[in-house]
Chain A
Amino acid sequence: MSPRPSALTVAAVLCVLPLTACTANAPAGGDASAPLAVTSSADDCTVDAAEAPSGPLSFSVSNDTDQVTEFYLLAEDGLRIVGEVENIGPGITRTLTVQARPGEYFTVCKPGMVGDGVGRKAFTVTDSGAEIQLTGDLEAQGEKAAAEYVAYVKDQVGQLVTATRSFADAYRAGDDDTARSLYAPSRAHYERIEPIAESFGDLDPKLDFREADVPEGDEWTGWHRIEKDLWPPAAAENGGAEYTPLSAADRARFADLLVADTQGLYDAVHDEAFEVPIDSISNGAVGLLDEVASGKITGEEEIWSHTDLWDFQANLEGARVAFDGVRPIVEQKDGELATRLDARFAALERQLSAYGSLESGFASYTDLSTAQVKELADGVNALAEPLSTLTAVLVG
C-alpha cells in the first residue's frame, strides 16, 4: 500500500539485545537528571564525571573528530556492551540512555568505527537504591521471539501463495464472483505481514500499489489493478473517463504477474539470510497500526472493493502477533506497558468485531457512518500511541 519504505527498512539492527540501549531523546527541560557530557576527540574520550548513581543514565556524546564515531559503555570485563550509540557524524551530538545497575564499567569512543577505540576510562555506577529489574535470560527470550516471528512470516507468506493462486485462477478464468469473494480473505495474509513485504523495496510496489502511487510511465500491477477490474468504477469515480475492462489476455498477464511476484516474496522470506531483528518486530507492529491509521481508516486502501475492514483486521492481527512475541520481554522491563497494550488491543479488537470477522465477512467501508469511523480511528490512536514506545522499551 504505501509506496514508502516501512519503518522496518530503517532498522538495520542497532542494538544487541538486551544489554544495549539505543539513542533516546535528551531530557528537554532538565527535569530528569542532566546527561553526562562525552566528547569524542581524535585521541581521547572524555566524560565529565567518572561516577553516577544507578538508574536512568544519559550520556550526551559530541563528536569532535572529523570521522564518524561511536561511544560504548562496557561492562566490568571490558568486553560486554552495556550501551552504545553509533553513526555519530562529525560535529553531531547524540544521546545514549541506559538503565544502569551499580557496578564498575568502562567508557570508550571509537572514531572511525574501527579498532579497540580510544580514551577508555573506568566508570562507576553507585547504588542509588533505585530498583532495576534483572535482565535474566532476556537475550534468549529475544532470540526466541525473533525466531518465532520469522516462522510466522513464512507461514503467512506460504498461505498467501496458495490463496493467491486460487484467486488468480478464478480471475483469469473470468469467474468474477469467485474472484471477488476470494479477494479480501487472500489479501489478509499479506496485510498481516505487510511491513516485512515492504522491506523488500521492489516487491511491495509490484504487489500492492494503488493507482495514485504509480509513477508516470510505470505499469500498474498487483492486487489493486485487478481489484479495479473486478469492481469497475463508474465514470464519475474514474476521473470522468469510462472504465475499460481488461481483455482476457491482460487478465491472464496481470494474474500471472501477481502469482509470480508473490512467489518472489515467498522466496525472499525463505532465503537463508532472512531474519527479523527484534526492533523490526516491534517497529513492524507500529507500522501496521500506522497502515490502519493512514490507509484503512480513510477507505483509501481498497478504494474500489471497499474491503478496508478486512485489511484493518489483518493488520491488527499481525500487530498482535508481533507484540505477543515480545510480550514476555516487555513484561519484565515495563509491566505497566504490557498490561496497557493488552487492554488497548482487546478494546480495538472488540470494536472492530462489531462490523464482522474475517470468517463471516466485514461490512463494506462505505456502510460505516463518519461517527463510526471516528470511533475506530480513536481506538487506533489509543493503541498506537503506547505501542510506539515498544521498541525503546525492548532495546533500552
Chain B
Amino acid sequence: MRAGPEGERRGLSRRGLLGLAGAGVVGAGAGAGTDRAAMALASGATPASTVHPFYARHQSGIVTPAQDRLHFASFDVADITRAELVELLWDWSDAAARMTAGRSAGEYGPVDGPYDAPPEDTGEALDLPASSLTITIGFGPTLFTALDGRDRFGIAARRPDALVDLPAFPGDALVDTLVGGDLCIQACSDDPQVAVHAIRNLSRIAFGRAALRWSQLGFGRTSSTSRAQATPRNLFGFKDGTANVKAEDTGLVDDHVWVSPGDAASWMVGGSYLVARKIRMTIETWDRASLREQERVVGRTKGTGAPLSGGEESTAPDFSATGRGDAPLIDRDAHVRLAHPGANGGAMLLRRGYNFVDGNDDLGRLNAGMFFVCFQSDPRRQFIPIQQRLAENDAMNEYLRHVGSGIFAVPPGARKGSYVGATLFGD
C-alpha cells in the first residue's frame, strides 16, 4: 500500500466519489484544501484547540486526559472478504487521522467536492477546531469467531486468550440490541458535535462493509485520567474515579493498561482491552434515599469525596476503621470497599466512563446512568473478577441495571503510512 501525503494512503474507497464525479467535473474545488483547521483559523476560533495525534505507539483516547464528550459505536461487519475488511480499516484510519487533526473526513471535505456529488464530509464540524478529538478502534470477539463459529477473516487462531466472552454477572439485565459487536469506535472530544461528526462520517464510510449495531452518546466524563483534571461527578452526584489509574502513573499504566511485550498475542503488544457497560441508574429511587444511605452505599462523603474513614478526597480509605458499636465506618458492602484494588488482588482499571441521559422511558423515568468504559491489559484478571465481586455484593446494585455490554481488543496505534489493525492483518 502506498502512503499519500501526510502518511495517508489514497483511499481506494474514495474511488466511488471520483468515479461518480468524472474527470471533467472534479475541478470545482478539489485541491483547494479547505478543511476544518483552515476554516477554524479563518473564522477566528482559537488555534489553541488541542490535537491528539492519531499516529502513535498507542491509540489515543485511552490515557489521553478524558475529554468531556463521548460518542461510542459498535458495528457489525457485513459479509465481506478479508481484503475488504482491511480496506475498511485503512479508510477508517485515514479519516480518523484527518478528523483528529481538525480536518474533514475526506480530502475534498464538505464543500470542495464536485457540485453534483454529495459532499464527502457531512459538514457539521466545518467551523469547529479539533477539540481534542480522539478516535479509538477495537475488535470484538465475533470478528475472530462469528456466533455461528465461522472464521470469516482467517484470524480465529489469532484471537487473544484475553479477549474472552464476558460471563453473565448476577443482576445483569442486558438488552440484546445493546450488546456485542464486531468492531467498535470510541470517539471522544470536548465538543459533542465533533464527536458525533466523527462517528457519523466513519459510519458512512463503512456502509456496505460494516453497519451500526448500537451506539451511545455520553457527556460529563465521570473519570479523570490525569492528575491535571479535577474529579468529576456522576449522576448520583458523587465524585467518581478518584482512585482511577492516571496517565502520569506510567508504571501502573504499563502494568494495568497496556499489553506487554512477550504476550502470546504479539499483535496486541502496546494495545489494550476495552470493556464497555451501559449502566442504567434508577435515578428516582436514588434521589429518595437519605444522604446517610447514599454515603453508606458509596463509602465516601458526597461533598468532598473523602472516604468515610476520614481525610480528604485523595486520602486512602481505611477499611478497618470503626465507629460506634465497632461498626465499620466504610460499610462492608460499600462500593469503594468492593471496587478497591485491595479487595481485588491489586487489580485496577483505567476507567473512562461518561454520564448519559437518553430521554425517558415509557414510565416517565429518566433513562439515565453511566456509560462505563474501562481499559486494561487483561480483562480476565481485571474487569471480570472486579465486576463479579461488585455484582454479588455492591450496595450500589440496588440503584443500577447493567443493560448494555461489549468487550473489544484495542490494537496498538498505527504508525504513519499504516492503519489500525496492521499488526493483526499485516501491511
Taking Cβ atoms with an 8 Å cutoff, the residues of A that contact B are: 2-7, 10, 12, 14, 22-25, 63, 68, 70, 86-87, 89-93, 113, 212-216, 283, 286, 290, 293-294, 297-298, 300, 370, 373-374, 377-378, 381, 384-385, 387-388, 391-392
Contacts and interface: CB of A to CB of B under 8 A. Distances in A.
A381 B309 CA distance: 34
Given A5-B395, A68-B329, A377-B365, A392 B309 contact: no
A290 B325 contact: no
B308 A92 contact: yes
Interface in B11-54: none
The secondary-structure label for the interface of chain B is loop
By CB atoms of chain A within 10 A, which of B170, B282, B331 has the most? B170
B323 to A, nearest CB: 4
B269 interface: no
A392 B392 CA distance: 30
Given A4-B397, A92-B306, A374-B362, A70 B324 contact: yes
A92 B321 CA distance: 14
A387 B293 CA distance: 15
Contacts of A4: 333, 395, 397-398
Contacts of A91: 306, 310-312, 315
Contacts of A290: 285, 288, 398
The secondary-structure label for the interface of chain A is mixed
Contacts of A6: 398
Nearest to B315: A91
B149 interface: no
B363 A374 contact: yes
Given A7-B289, A297-B363, A215 B324 contact: no
Contacts of A113: 323-324
A24 B295 CA distance: 12
A359 B306 CA distance: 51
Nearest to B362: A370
Contacts of B288: 286, 290, 384-385, 387-388
A20 B210 CA distance: 64
B167 A89 contact: no
A127 B293 CA distance: 34
B284 A89 contact: no
6 contacts: A4-B395, A86-B323, A90-B310, A216-B168, A370-B362, A384-B285
A5 B310 contact: no
A266 to B, nearest CB: 26
A68 B291 contact: no
A327 to B, nearest CB: 19
Nearest to A22: B292
A3 B312 contact: no
B296 interface: yes
Interface string B162-177: 0000011011110000
B321 A213 contact: no
Contact of A87 (B291, B323, B391): B323
B311 A89 contact: yes
Contacts of B398: 2, 4-6, 290, 294
Contacts of A391: 290
Contacts of B311: 89-92
Contacts of B304: 92-93
Contacts of B306: 89, 91-92
Given A214-B170, A215-B391, A294-B285, A7 B321 contact: no
Contacts of A378: 364
B301 interface: yes
B327 interface: yes
A374 to B, nearest CB: 5
B303 interface: yes
A236 to B, nearest CB: 12
Contacts of B285: 290, 293-294, 384
A215 B392 contact: yes
Contacts of A90: 309-311
Contact of A7 (B172, B293, B309): B293
Given A23-B292, A293-B284, A378-B364, A213 B309 contact: no
Nearest to B302: A25
B362 A23 contact: no
B312 A216 contact: no
A96 B360 CA distance: 36
Nearest to B317: A89
Contacts of A377: 363-365
Contacts of B364: 374, 377-378, 381
A294 B282 contact: yes
A150 B164 CA distance: 50
Contacts of B365: 377
Contacts of B167: 216
Contacts of A70: 324
B165 to A, nearest CB: 13
Nearest to A65: B310
B307 interface: yes
A96 B424 CA distance: 61
B323 A68 contact: yes
Nearest to A370: B362
B55 to A, nearest CB: 42
B239 to A, nearest CB: 14
The 7 closest A-B pairs by CB, nearest first: A89-B310, A90-B310, A87-B323, A388-B288, A4-B398, A377-B363, A290-B285
Interface string B345-373: 00000000000000000111100000000
A381 B364 CA distance: 10
A342 B224 CA distance: 46
A387 B285 CA distance: 12
A373 B303 contact: no
Given A10-B293, A93-B304, 11 more contacts: A10-B292, A14-B292, A68-B329, A86-B324, A87-B323, A90-B311, A93-B303, A113-B324, A213-B171, A283-B293, A374-B362
B418 to A, nearest CB: 41
Interface string B383-395: 0000010011001
A5 B333 contact: yes
A93 B327 CA distance: 19
A237 to B, nearest CB: 13
Contacts of B315: 91
A89 B363 contact: no
A391 B293 CA distance: 12
Contacts of B289: 7, 388
Contacts of B307: 89
A6 B388 CA distance: 20
A87 to B, nearest CB: 4
A24 B282 CA distance: 23
Contact of B321 (A63, A68, A388): A68
A198 to B, nearest CB: 10
A6 B293 CA distance: 10
B301 A92 contact: yes
Contacts of B322: 68
Contacts of B323: 68, 86-87, 89, 113
